[in-house]
């Protein structure tokens, strides 16, 4: 299996099994991270998450849509050591349009049914991250970068 196909399989497998990530935003030179429930859509090209409009993350995204989402795909083995990869999606975030809102909400709630009241609240915005590339880290000396267009062709 070539490395692009392996990366694509890893990215898809991780996104199908992990439901949470750490979102990194920035505003005025100050980084900020938030734990978010993520939903992959459009294969591995987009991630959706929900946030209240009165949060720091929403204000940051309104000023600067560049984001990173770290998704931990590691598992602890029988010896107590972590095995696997850590995946970081880099891209641009924007609020889901009104026309796409209900479809996106249904998709997000299918992955996170326990978030119904949060996602349906009036102050909740759905945000789409359009992924540009993924960083796959398997170990300190095993770091790979994969552009979304390269993975799409794999």
pTM of the model: 0.88
Question: Which parts of the chain register pLDDT below 70?
Answer: 1-4, 74-84, 151-154
pLDDT per position as a tens digit, 43-65: 789 999 999 999 999 999 999 99
Q: What's the confidence (pLDDT) of residue 12? A: 83
For 103-113, b/e burial (b = at least 16 CB within 10 A) is ebbebbbeebe
What CATH architecture applies to the domain 3-152? Roll (2.30)
Are 71 and 15 a contacting pair, CB within 8 Å?
A: yes
Contacts of 21 (CB under 8 A, 6+ apart): 35, 36, 38, 47, 49, 69, 70, 71, 72, 89
Q: Where are the domains of the chain?
A: 3-152
Q: What's the confidence (pLDDT) of residue 29? A: 93
Q: What's the confidence (pLDDT) of residue 144? A: 81
How far apart (Å, rounded) are the C-alpha atoms in residues 75 and 115? 25
């Amino acid at each position: 299996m070539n490395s692009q196909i392996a990366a694509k399989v890893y990215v898809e497998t991780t996104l199908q099994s992990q439901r949470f990530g750490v979102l990194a935003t920035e505003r005025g030179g100050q980084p900020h991270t938030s734990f978010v429930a993520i939903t992959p859509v459009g294969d591995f090209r987009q991630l959706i998450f929900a946030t209240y409009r009165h949060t720091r993350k929403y204000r940051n995204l309104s000023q600067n849509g560049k984001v990173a989402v770290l998704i931990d795909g590691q598992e602890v083995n029988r010896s107590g050591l972590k095995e696997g990869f850590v995946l970081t999606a880099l891209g641009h975030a924007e609020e889901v349009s009104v026309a796409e809102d209900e479809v996106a909400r249904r998709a997000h709630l299918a992955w996170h049914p326990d978030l119904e009241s949060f996602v349906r609240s009036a102050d909740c915005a759905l945000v789409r991250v359009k992924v540009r590339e993924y960083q796959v880290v398997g170990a300190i000396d095993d770091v790979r970068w994969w552009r979304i267009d390269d993975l799409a062709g794999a």
